Amino acid sequence: MSRWARSVVHRWRSSMQVRVVTSAVALGVVAVAVLGVYVSTSIRDGLFDQRLDQIERENAAVIQEVRTRLAASPATQTGEQQALLRDVILSLSAGGSSAQDYFLRQAPDEQLPLADPSSRQGLAVTDVVTPEMRQATLETGDQVLQSVPVPADFTETGMEEPGVVVGATVELPSAGTFELYSLYSLASEQETLGFVQRTLAIGAVAILAMIGLLTWTVTRQTVAPVRRAATAAARLGEGHLDVRVPGSRGYDEMATLARTFNEMADNLEDQIARMEELSAAQRRFVSDVSHELRTPLTTIRMAGEVIHAARAGLEPSARRSAELLQTQLDRFEELLTDLLEISRFDAGAAVLDAEQRDVRGVVSAVVDTCAPLAERKEVFLSVEMPDERADADIDPRRVERIVRNLVVNAIEHAEGRPVEVTVGQDAQAVAVVVRDHGVGLTPEQLNRVFDRFWRADPARARTTGGTGLGLAISQEDAHLHGGRLDVWGRPGHGASFRLTLPRRAGIEIGRPPLPVEGPPRSGGQHVPTGQVPVVNPPTGPTPTAIPVLPPEEEHR
């Protein structure tokens, strides 16, 4: 499709005014065309019928006059008969008749040596009379009409004109039967019809122009306020809460629309302002509470550590309480850390301490940290990395936190099946994919997996505690790097998370180096466990093999 055609299509789709005006003009063209054809046809038929009636009356008088003269003629000789016939034709032409030409022709059965005279030299009767008409004239003897074109050589304008030829039989007693043909031109009627058609065409153009102008004016009065409202709604959606629609004065529908829109915008601005104030108060509350809890938590932790260190001398029930106290203090401290981090993101105070690092080293450190958990959960943990360095401008602490959250979640939900960590790279980005083959995620869960304090299964037992903020913080950390965190999952086939980071700050990420989705494994099968080496280990700090104890019986 050419650029012009695409521009026209875009204009048609993007402007209701253009569509309405075009549709109105198109319907107007159809209506005017139908009306013009009807009027032109009616006028043509009326002119033609009127002219035929006139021709029939005039020719009837001509035929009667010729028949009378021939019947009263005493001519018996060939020369006298020829002169009589020629005088009859000439007298008809000079008699003020509207006919263009007259022809006399002997009937086929008459074998007389008489010429067929005509009123105009050069125009033969065969030029305008067809054999079919001649046969019909001989059979009826009365007036037979046929439409014929008058040759251009015999018209005043030098152009072919429409005409009508009328045939009838007359009889000369001493010579037999003759055919009399009268040729009438319809040029004046054709000229009148042409004038009417030109007038109709000019009127149709004027009417269509008026329809287009009228439709454009009416639709502009309707579309302009709607367009202003659409523009205001778009700016309102972009966050410009002070935008309003002009033209709210009056009592018509458009003024009512403008007033309603402005009232809605006022209410929306008030609601958003109240929500922002509430959100700011909540953020301040979370931040203040988190900071205020630091001091008592430090005191409680010091006391708990003293009790936990002396638990060997306590009774069994007190020893168990000391261990539970230490575990819950760790979880409480983790929750406070996450809340403080979330409050920093909400307040826009999160700072990226970026440096150029090999992402493979960060992943290796996370795998080393998560190895004991994988060992306890009897999960086959494998890592695949490229041979080349995967350097990127990252904050190592934040990227390590993202990968650790993904790996720990994968181990927790793997149900004893393998967890695969893959590192990939291209010229623009570095990607880390963490794939498990456990319970998976439903479409509804995929939409909420990054919500704060949300868990796919709240009743599910977790050995690592968990605050429900890990994935939310991971997503914020990814966005802080200019990257993104994607998720894929299917119930019963596991889940896959992909972290994509730009190699350099400000680089726009295109297609990630690794796909987020993975081929599902057949569910219900046990995957053997054992020592899992790291595939393609990176140069530098390399994670050791992860020992995973084999189960005593088949995992179910």
Q: What is the 3-state secondary structure (H, E, C) of 58-88?
A: HHHHHHHHHHHHHHCCCCCCHHHHHHHHHHH
Higher pLDDT, 121 or 384: 384
Top-level CATH class of 353-502?
alpha beta
- Contact between 104 and 98 (Cβ < 8 Å): no
pLDDT of 9 higher than 90: no
Q: What is the CATH number of domain 17-193?
A: 3.30.450.20
Cα 501 from Cα 484, distance rounded (Å): 7
Q: How confident is the model at residue 457 (pLDDT cuts 50, 70, 90)?
A: low
Find the Cα–Cα–Cα–Cα dihedral 148, 154, 159, 162, rounded to 10°. Answer: -20
The full length of the chain comes to 556
Say what the alpha-carbon torsion angle 548, 553, 555, 556 is, to the nearest 10 degrees. Answer: -160
pLDDT of residue 258: 83
Task: Give the amino acid at 236.
Answer: L
Nearest to 151 by CA among 115, 187, 181, 97: 187
CA distance 517 to 181: 95
pTM of the model: 0.47
Q: Indicate where the chain has its CATH 3.30.450.20 domain(s).
A: 17-193
**Is the pLDDT assigned to residue 520 strictly greater than 50?**
no
Of 406, 376, 414, residue with least CA distance to 523: 414
* Residue that wins the pLDDT comparison between 363 and 79: 363
> Looking at residue 552, what is its pLDDT?
33
Classify residue 545 by its DSSP letter. Answer: P
Instruction: Report DSSP state, residue 464.
Output: T
Q: What is the mean pLDDT of residues 405-418?
A: 90
User: 421-443: per-residue pLDDT in tens?
Assistant: 999 998 889 999 999 998 888 88
Whether 301 and 269 have beta carbons less than 8 Å apart is answered as: no
Q: What is the mean pLDDT of residues 506-511?
A: 81
Among 133-142, 293-302, 349-358, which stretch is predicted with the lowest mean pLDDT?
293-302
Under the banding of pLDDT at 50, 70 and 90, the label for residue 550 is very low
HEC sequence for 315-330: CHHHHHHHHHHHHHHH
pLDDT of residue 73: 83
Tell the CATH topology of 253-345.
Helix Hairpins (1.10.287)
d(CA 275, CA 255): 30
Q: How many whole angstroms separate alpha carbon 384 and alpha carbon 434? A: 11
Distance CA 456, CA 442 (A): 9
Supply 432's token pair. Answer: 């880390």
Mean pLDDT of 411-415: 89
Output the furthest CA–CA distance in the chain (Å, rounded).
Answer: 168
Q: What is the pLDDT of residue 34?
A: 92
For 467-508, the pLDDT digits (tens) are 677 888 888 888 888 899 999 988 888 899 999 999 987 778
Report in angstroms the alpha-carbon separations of 358 from 278, 399, 541, 543: 42, 11, 10, 14
DSSP annotation string for 370-428: HHHHHHHTT--EEEE--SS--EEEE-HHHHHHHHHHHHHHHHHTSTTS-EEEEEEE-SS
Q: What is the band of 116 on the pLDDT scale with cuts at 50, 70, 90?
A: low
CA-to-CA distance for 253 and 231, rounded, in angstroms? Answer: 18
Residue 207 predicted with pLDDT over 70? yes
The answer to whether residue 530 scores a pLDDT higher than 60 is no
- Bridge partners (DSSP) of residue 393 are 356
Asked if 419 and 374 count as a contact pair (C-beta separation under 8 A), the reply is yes
For residue 554, what pLDDT is reported? 31
Higher pLDDT, 546 or 452: 452
pLDDT score of 363: 93
Average pLDDT of span 391-406: 91
| Residue 161 pLDDT level (bands cut at 50, 70, 90) | confident
Q: Based on the number of CB atoms within 10 Å of its own CB, is 18 exposed (0-12), middle (13-18) or buried (19 or more)?
A: middle
Say what the pLDDT of residue 110 is.
Answer: 65
Of 171, 60, 182, 172, the C-alpha closest to 118 is 182
Which residues are CB-neighbours of 301 under 8 A, at least 6 positions away?
329, 333
Between helices 359-376 and 396-412, what is the axis angle to 10°?
30
pLDDT tops 50 at residue 379 = yes
Burial 471-480 (b: 16+ CB within 10 A, else e): bbbbbbbbee
Q: How far is CA 153 from CA 182, 261, 388, in A?
A: 18, 77, 96
Q: Mean pLDDT in the chain?
A: 79
CA distances (Å), origin 194, targets 41, 44, 56, 487, 523 = 12, 10, 24, 76, 86
| Amino acid 392: pLDDT | 92
- Residue 153: pLDDT over 70: no
Q: Is the predicted pLDDT of residue 1 greater than 70, yes or no?
A: no
Range from 11-15, 109-113, 248-252 carrying the lowest mean pLDDT: 109-113
Q: What is the pLDDT of residues 295-312, one digit of tens each?
A: 787 788 788 788 878 888
> Which range is most confident: 81-90, 158-167, 359-368, 511-520?
359-368
User: Which sign does the torsion angle of CA 43, 46, 47, 48 carry?
Assistant: positive
Q: Residue 117 pLDDT more than 80?
A: no
Residue spans in the chain of domains classed CATH 3.30.565.10? 353-502
**What does the DSSP 8-state code read for residue 106?**
E
Which residues pair with residue 425 across a beta bridge? 430
Give the orientation angle of helix 187-237 with respect to helix 253-309, to 10 degrees: 30
At residue 222 the predicted structure's pLDDT band, cuts being 50, 70 and 90, is confident
Rounded Cα distance between 40 and 278, Å, is: 76
What local confidence, expressed as pLDDT, does residue 441 receive? 87
pLDDT in tens, 62-115: 888 888 888 888 877 778 888 888 888 888 877 667 777 788 887 776 666 666
For 27-72, the pLDDT digits (tens) are 999 999 999 899 989 988 898 888 888 888 888 888 888 888 888 8
When pLDDT is cut at 50, 70 and 90, the band that residue 187 belongs to is confident
- Is residue 447 very low, low, confident or very high in pLDDT (cuts 50, 70, 90)? confident
Residue 143 has what pLDDT?
85
d(CA 101, CA 117): 11
pLDDT range class, residue 399, cuts 50, 70, 90:
very high
* C-alpha span between 331 and 327 (Å, rounded): 6
Q: Lowest mean pLDDT of 4-13, 147-156, 157-166, 195-204, name the range.
A: 147-156
Q: Which residues of the chain form CATH 1.10.287.130?
A: 253-345
